[in-house]
Amino acid sequence: MKQEITRRELLGGSAATAAGCLLSRARISQAAVSRPAQVSVARCRTYGSELVPTMEKMFDQIGGLGRLVKGKTVAVKVNFIGNPWRRLDTALTEDTFWTHPRVIGAVVHLLGKAGANRIRVVEGGMSTAESLEEFMLSAGWEPRYILNAAPRVEFENTNFLGYGKKYSRLKVPFGGWIFPAYDLNHSYEDCDVFFSVAKLKEHMTTGFTLSMKNIYGITPTTVYGDGAGADEPSLRPHGGRSLFHGAKRKPPKSAPQEIDLSLPRDGGFRIPRITVECCAARPIDLAIIDGIHTVTGGEVPRFKTDASYVPGMPRNMLPVKPGVLIAGTTCVAADAVGMAVMGFDPLADRGTEPFVKISGLPRETSDNTLRLGEEVGLGFRDLRKNEVVGDPISEVAFDFKAVRERLRREGATF
Q: How many angstroms separate the CA atoms of 273 and 149, rounded?
A: 36
Strand-pairing partners, residue 289, are 198, 326
pLDDT in tens, 339-391: 999 999 999 999 999 999 876 666 789 999 999 999 999 999 999 999 999 99
Strand-pairing partners, residue 390, are 41
Closest by Cα among 280, 385, 218 to 29? 280
pLDDT in tens, 230-287: 999 999 998 888 889 887 789 999 999 999 999 999 999 999 999 999 999 999 999 9
Closest by Cα among 155, 176, 134 to 26? 176
At 301 the pLDDT is: 64
CA distance readout (Å), 130 to 52, 160, 224: 30, 10, 18
pLDDT in tens, 317-330: 789 999 999 999 99
**299 close to 81: Cβ distance less than 8 angstroms:** yes
Q: How many angstroms separate the CA atoms of 269 and 290, rounded?
A: 27
pLDDT in tens, 77-115: 999 987 777 777 788 889 998 999 999 999 999 999 999
At 34 the pLDDT is: 77
Q: Which residues contact 24 (CB under 8 A, 6 or more apart)?
A: none
Give the pLDDT band (50/70/90) at residue 144.
very high
pLDDT in tens, 378-397: 999 999 999 999 999 999 99
88: left (phi over 0), alpha (psi -120 to 50) or beta: beta
395 versus 2: the higher-pLDDT residue is: 395
Amino acid, res. 264: P
What Rg, from alpha-carbon coordinates, does the chain have? 20
336: left (phi over 0), alpha (psi -120 to 50) or beta: alpha
At 16 the pLDDT is: 44
The answer, as to whether pTM is greater than 0.85, is: yes
At 412 the pLDDT is: 53
At 331 the pLDDT is: 98
